[in-house]
Structures are given as structure tokens and as C-alpha cells.
Structure 1
Amino acid sequence: MSDYEVRPAVMRDAKAIAEVHAAAARATYDGILPEDQLRALAPATREAKWREAIEFSEPQVQVAVCGEQVVGFVGYDRSRDAKTPSTTGEIWAIYVLPEHWGKGVGVALWDAARDGLEEEGCTTVTVWVPLRNDRAIRFHELAGFKRQMTTAKTTSVGAVKIEEVRLKRNVA
């Protein structure tokens, strides 16, 4: 794990975060989304969103770097779900370049998010994951998250409907 450092994102990271987001999303949704929609998952469609997130800390963003290269990121903050206590945090997004999967980057990002949420006074944390994203569900379950099956919902990614489930765990 010593090859990776996790630090708060700065404005110059926005483009790299968008590139990680696009590459990881394409790999994640391969076989789930049609080819034309996979091609539409382009960095240019995400860079402005991540610039705004970094500028306003909503969500708070941390990046994992290997040397000078951003290889992953996590966005976290208070839960966006209605009727959740103010002590509930949420992992809004966590993505790692596919060539760095399985090397501890996700764990380092999760640790940084957990520390940040704890500093914000959060006692529980949730994350929404597509039911067909076995890798992400396995990652979060290994990190101590439990599925809340009654929370399953359908969201749209382009023209495709995707079933998501919320997972939850204590911050500490």
C-alpha cells in the first residue's frame, strides 16, 4: 500500500478525477449498459461536476495518488437520503482505475472517508450500489457494510434502468 497516498483533492485534480470516474464506470458497466452509452461515459461530461465538488466541498473529495497520478477518488458527506439523521454520512462515489483494482486503493480511500465522516460527527455511513455490480458489493461487504434490502430502488443510467441497494455500517 506504500505506493499510494490519499490526500484532499485540489482544483487541478478535477480532470484526473473525471478520467478515473469515466474509466472505472466504463469497466463497471461493461455488459450492463449498451456500447453507445458506455462511450458516453466520457471525462468531459464529469469534469465540471468534480470542479464544483472540490470548490464547495459537497461532497468532500479525497484522491489516491501513485507518484503524481490520480488513480482513485472518494466523495463523501452527509447522507442525501430523505429522513436520515444528521449523524448519517454517505459515500457519494468511490472509484479506482481498473488497473489498480485489488491493490488496496479502495481500502485507503474508504479509510480516508471514514476518518472524514467521523470528524464531521457521523456515526453511521451508507452507500448506494447497483445490484449487478458484484465487485462493489463485495468490496463494501468486506469493509463491514450490510445490505438494506428494503431500500432497493431503480435509477436510470441513460435509457437503462439499474436496480440499486443501500448498504450501511457504523463509522467507527
Structure 2
Amino acid sequence: MSSTPIYEVRPATLNDAQAVADIHASASQAAYKGLVPDEHLGSLPAIKRLSLWREAIEYGDPQVVVALEGDKVVGFAGFDRSRDKGTPATTGEIWAIYAAPAHWSQGVGLALWDGAREGLLEEGCTNVTAWVPLRNERALRFFELAGFKRELSTAKTVPMGAIKVEEIRLKRALA
């Protein structure tokens, strides 16, 4: 008998917005601790973060799925078509994927990736990309274990609040 938790993944509803915003705040603070100065962690006000996720869920831009353990939201993923200029309409993008820190390394990310992949396939996407900070080893390892490959020529510096972060695009086929 397996002791690995099984997570239900479903489309997010407006009732999930607060949990998504809370997980986004706590997971990004934990993930970026030591990568960005502490004063920049959590610099997005809670009300603004909640508003952004409510709008995304309501309008499907990006599409949002949540992972549930019982009836509790323990992670989420945002995905849609690629935002990169010049990419084919068949290229999707993982815009965000976060699990509550207490659930890291327990299969939540994999369940969310499976849900996002299914959604992108339903949209007719054949490839998917994700932008990841170069210093976020946990995220890079997750995506590489999920079959993504780094596109070395894509490294760029992007603003993250008042600081700048080096990111790289990762890509893989969906089928």
C-alpha cells in the first residue's frame, strides 16, 4: 500500500482565490528566501495579490487549477498560451506553479503539472514553456524532472518588484 498522498486537481473557483493568494505569498517567500533580499519578499500587498488571483480565476487569464488534500487547497498552477512574442499559438506556458511549503516534495507539484498539461492539451498546445529564476534550484530541478530542457539562449534579466532577477526559459513537448 502506498503512503504517497493523492491530490485531486480541479479548476479553481472564486471561492479558492484567498487560498491561492495565501499559498502564492507563503510559497514564494519560502522559495525566494536567500535569492532576493528579505525586504522584497512579500512586497506585493495581500489585497493586491488576492485581487490578481480573483481576476485570473474569474476571467481564465491564466487558467488556474488547484490541488486539494481532502477539501483544503494545498497548491495551484496558472497556465495558458505562451506570453512570449513570436511563439506559435500551439505553445503553452506554465505561468505559475506553487505548493504550500508544508506540502513540498509530496507530489503536489506533479499533480498540478499533470492538471496543467491536460488543460494545455485540450487547448491544442503541442509544446509548453516555463520561465524560472536561474538561482531557484528547487524549481529548476522540478521542471527538469518533469522533462523540461533549458533553452540556454533565452536567459534574461527581469524586474521583480524593485529588484532584477535572472531567468531562463525551459521547454518541452506535451505529447
TM range (shorter): over 0.9
Q: Please state if 1:12 is matched with 2:22.
A: no
Deviates more, 1:7-16 or 1:156-165: 156-165
CA distance in 2, matches of 1:169, 1:46: 29
CA distance in 2, matches of 1:158, 1:113: 27
Deviates more, 1:74-83 or 1:149-158: 149-158
CA distance in 2, matches of 1:96, 1:161: 24
Q: Please state if 1:164 is matched with 2:167.
A: yes
Are the aligned partners of 1:21 and 1:43 in contact in 2 as well (CA < 8 Å)? no
Are the aligned partners of 1:22 and 1:42 in contact in 2 as well (CA < 8 Å)? no
CA distance in 2, matches of 1:39, 1:92: 18
Instruction: State the 1:38 CA deviation.
Output: 1.4
How many residues are matched?
172
**TM-score, structure 1 as length reference:** 0.96
Please state whether the residue corresponding to 2:155 is helix, strand or coil.
Answer: strand
1:115 corresponding residue in structure 2: 118
CA distance in 1, matches of 2:29, 2:57: 23
CA distance in 1, matches of 2:174, 2:70: 29
1:79 corresponding residue in structure 2: 82
Q: Which amino acid aligns with 1:59?
A: P
1:47 corresponding residue in structure 2: 50
**TM-score, structure 2 as length reference:** 0.94
1:68 corresponding residue in structure 2: 71
Instruction: State the 1:2 CA deviation.
Output: 4.1
Instruction: State the 1:68 CA deviation.
Output: 2.1
CA RMSD of aligned residues (A): 1.2
1:151 corresponding residue in structure 2: 154
**Structure 1 stretches lacking a partner, 5+ long:** none
CA distance in 2, matches of 1:143, 1:43: 31
Are the aligned partners of 1:26 and 1:41 in contact in 2 as well (CA < 8 Å)? no
CA distance in 2, matches of 1:123, 1:160: 34
- Aligned identity (percent) is 61
**Structure 2 stretches lacking a partner, 5+ long:** none
Q: Please state if 1:32 is matched with 2:38.
A: no
Q: Which amino acid aligns with 1:97?
A: A
Please state whether the residue corresponding to 2:41 is helix, strand or coil.
Answer: helix
